[in-house]
């Protein structure tokens, strides 16, 4: 709810602070006293259009701040969380406007865009009257309003949830099908090229690590003569003339025979000779193996280089490392396999998408039927409210129509619109196009009374709701405002005593002239002052005892 409004330097207001309370808040005063200034100021804080002409003469800027206490689950909290704006006990929207018309917005003293200020204002306050109107006059809100009414009266959101779930399933199936179709189409477009690449790589038959081995082999082959000479000379050094291994074996045998009589003195020497003999034997074996491994093919170097060049050429062609050619071949084969199996896969996904679409259409149809049933009930309830509000010749309609498929979404396939026909024989049309002034405000009042409890707005404001009415009709308006105020904070600017008498809280707006300057004053009235103000509204400039008695009767009268 709105808890406080602070106004500085707006038109004829120099400084004004108003503390508001829950329930039905009534603002009264003579015509031109400044009620519209209060509402215009609030509109500025809510992100409404700014104009430097609103600045009080003699000042270079104006400022307005509005403080709100929010319910725990109010949607404005989610907007604040998305913007990383901290919210403690209250939410404060503030607007500063300079003489050049430029303005700045603040939320809890944090600078914000005017767009964010307006978005929060739309969630917090719904206004019906002299300045920009929010809420139910926006046709895009009608489907949510009908759903909220349906859920509050029928006690369930199962149809909405089922439709949203079916929509998500259909979207997922549709996206999977589209991806598979695009992949298959792309693969088919390059199938010939794929098969050519696979054939080339299959013929090449690359192996991981092959290029490194070929490079080493090429190096060895290029220095083959030098390596062969070194091996021959090394073999000769250990095997010809003095056979080192044979000499070591002879030494081992000699020492082994004498070792038992040496008392252990020859053991370590024997062990060393045995190790040396083993190492020399292994060295001789490796020399023979290396010698035997040398390629005797005179074309071996040419073959190795050709193979290495072929691998590198393939790697450049496919823009991949030589080592990855074998993996690339497997991937290309997998893509070909996907093409071969892709048509069957697409068929399966198409069947799944068709089933998911059917599921969505069934869920959306069930939701549409539930909406149409709720729409009929809503029309009947609103119709009952219209006659007492002097709208007995008007008709209210809730149109539930099918949207084009391109506009289907998680909320279903429906377009919902609230329409009115103000006179018999005239076609119905949108609320804001057909009704006007106080008539429109009373339409909104009737609709709001029926929808009470299902809306999220923290504050409802009605201006001119009593325009052109009096007596029983004004009493009916006051009674409905009081009913509505049981589920939301309601603020009404009124000239009807029957409406003012229903207020839970009452403020009087008046002009004060001092030292040649006129300013607007707003004061909260106690019970006695309320009676006097309502008597003034009844009697005019001269308040009589009869008017005071009538005011007392209105204030104490029961709801009808």
Q: Tell me if 73 is assigned to some domain.
A: no
Indicate the pairing of strand 395-402 with strand 110-112: unpaired
Residue position matching structure tokens 């808040």: 25
Q: What is the pLDDT of residue 560?
A: 47
**Sheet architecture: strand order including 489-493:** 125-128, 459-463, 489-493, 24-28, 505-514, 517-524
Q: Which residues of the chain have pLDDT under 70?
A: 129-135, 154-156, 217-242, 291-301, 432, 434-438, 453, 455-458, 558-560
Angle at 288 between CA 285 and CA 291, to 5 degrees: 150
The tokens describing 331, both together, are 């991937």
Q: Tell me if 85 is assigned to some domain.
A: no
Question: Under DSSP, is residue 500 helix (H, G, I), strand (E, B) or coil?
Answer: helix
Q: Tell me if 120 is assigned to some domain.
A: no
What are the backbone angles phi and psi of residue 200, rounded to the nearest 5°?
A: -60, -50
**Sheet architecture: strand order including 395-402:** 395-402, 414-421, 429-430
Q: Tell me if 312 is assigned to some domain.
A: yes
Choose among 122, 95, 98: nearest CA to 107: 95
Choose among 284, 303, 159: nearest CA to 217: 303
Residue position matching structure tokens 């979207």: 171
What lies within 8 Å, CB to CB, of 225 at 6+ separation is: none
Q: Tell me if 337 is assigned to some domain.
A: yes
Q: Tell me if 151 is assigned to some domain.
A: no
Q: What is the pLDDT of residue 438?
A: 67
Q: What is the pLDDT of residue 232?
A: 61
Question: Under DSSP, is residue 396 helix (H, G, I), strand (E, B) or coil?
Answer: strand
- Any bridge partners for residue 523, and if so which? 508
Q: What is the pLDDT of residue 490?
A: 92
Q: What is the pLDDT of residue 282?
A: 84
Q: Taking the alpha carbons of 245, 246, 247, 248 in that order, is the dihedral positive or negative?
A: positive
pTM value is 0.66
Cα separation, 140 vs 415, in Å, equals 9
Q: Tell me if 480 is assigned to some domain.
A: no
Helix-, strand-, coil-residue percentages of the chain, each rounded to 5: 60, 20, 25
Query: Per the structure, how many domains does the chain have?
Result: 1
Number of Cβ within 10 Å of residue 507's Cβ equals 23
Q: What is the pLDDT of residue 114?
A: 93
Q: Tell me if 200 is assigned to some domain.
A: yes
**Sheet architecture: strand order including 110-112:** 13-19, 2-10, 61-68, 91-98, 103-107, 110-112
Q: What is the pLDDT of residue 132?
A: 47
Per the CB < 8 A criterion, the answer to whether 402 and 414 are in contact is: yes
Q: What is the domain range of residue 306?
A: 158-366
What are the backbone angles phi and psi of residue 9, rounded to the nearest 5°?
A: 60, 50
> What is the distance, to the nearest Å, from the Cα of residue 440 to the centroid of all Cα atoms in its chain?
34
């Amino acid at each position: 709810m709105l808890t406080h409004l602070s106004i500085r330097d707006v038109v004829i207001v120099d400084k004004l602070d108003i503390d508001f309370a829950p329930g039905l808040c009534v603002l009264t005063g003579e015509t031109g006293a400044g009620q519209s200034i209060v509402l215009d100021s609030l509109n500025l804080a809510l992100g409404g259009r700014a104009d430097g002409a609103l600045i009080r003469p003699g000042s270079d800027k104006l400022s307005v701040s509005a403080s709100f206490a929010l319910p725990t689950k109010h949607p404005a909290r989610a907007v604040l969380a998305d913007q990383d704006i901290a919210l403690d006990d209250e939410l404060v929207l503030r607007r500063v406007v300079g003489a050049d018309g430029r303005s700045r917005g603040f939320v809890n003293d944090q600078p914000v865009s005017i767009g964010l200020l307006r978005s929060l204002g739309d969630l917090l306050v719904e206004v019906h009257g002299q300045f920009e109107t929010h809420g139910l006059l926006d046709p895009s809100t009608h489907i949510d309003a009908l759903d909220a009414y349906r859920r509050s009266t029928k006690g369930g959101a199962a149809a909405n949830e089922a439709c949203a779930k079916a929509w998500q399933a259909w979207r997922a199936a549709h996206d999977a099908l589209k991806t598979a179709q695009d992949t298959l189409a792309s693969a088919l477009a390059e199938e010939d090229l794929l098969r050519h690449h696979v054939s080339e790589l299959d013929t090449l038959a690359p192996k991981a690590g092959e290029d490194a081995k070929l490079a080493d082999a090429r190096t060895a082959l290029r220095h083959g003569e030098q390596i062969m000479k070194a091996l021959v000379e090394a073999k000769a050094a250990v095997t010809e003339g003095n056979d080192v291994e044979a000499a070591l074996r002879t030494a081992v045998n000699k020492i082994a025979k004498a070792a038992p009589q040496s008392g252990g003195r020859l053991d370590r020497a024997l062990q060393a000779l045995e190790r040396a003999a083993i190492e020399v034997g292994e060295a001789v074996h490796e020399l023979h193996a290396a010698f035997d491994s040398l390629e005797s093919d005179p074309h071996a170097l040419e073959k190795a280089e050709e193979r290495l060049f072929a691998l590198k050429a393939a790697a450049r062609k496919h823009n991949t490392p030589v080592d990855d050619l074998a993996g690339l071949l497997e991937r290309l084969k997998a893509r070909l396999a996907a093409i071969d199996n892709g048509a069957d896969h697409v068929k399966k996904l198409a069947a799944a998408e068709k089933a998911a679409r059917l599921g969505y259409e069934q869920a959306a149809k069930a939701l549409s039927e539930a909406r149409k049933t709720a729409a009929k009930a809503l029309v009947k309830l609103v119709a009952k409210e219209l006659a007492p509000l002097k709208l007995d010749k008007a008709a209210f309609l809730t149109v539930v129509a099918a949207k084009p498929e391109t506009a289907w979404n998680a909320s279903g396939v429906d377009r919902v619109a609230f329409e009115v026909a103000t006179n018999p024989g005239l076609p119905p049309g949108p609320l804001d196009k057909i009704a006007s002034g106080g008539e429109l405000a009373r339409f909104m009042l009737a609709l709001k009374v029926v929808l009470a409890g299902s809306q999220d707005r923290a504050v409802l404001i009605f201006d001119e709701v009593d325009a052109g009415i009096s007596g029983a009709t004004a009493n009916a308006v006051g009674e409905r405002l009081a009913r509505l105020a049981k589920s939301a904070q309601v603020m009404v600017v009124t000239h009807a005593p029957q409406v003012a008498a229903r207020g839970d809280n009452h403020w009087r707006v008046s002009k004060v002239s001092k030292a040649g300057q006129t300013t607007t004053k707003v004061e909260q009235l106690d019970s006695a002052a309320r009676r006097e103000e309502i008597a003034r509204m009844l009697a005019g400039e001269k308040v009589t005892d009869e008017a005071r008695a009538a005011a007392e009767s209105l204030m104490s009268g029961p709801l009808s």
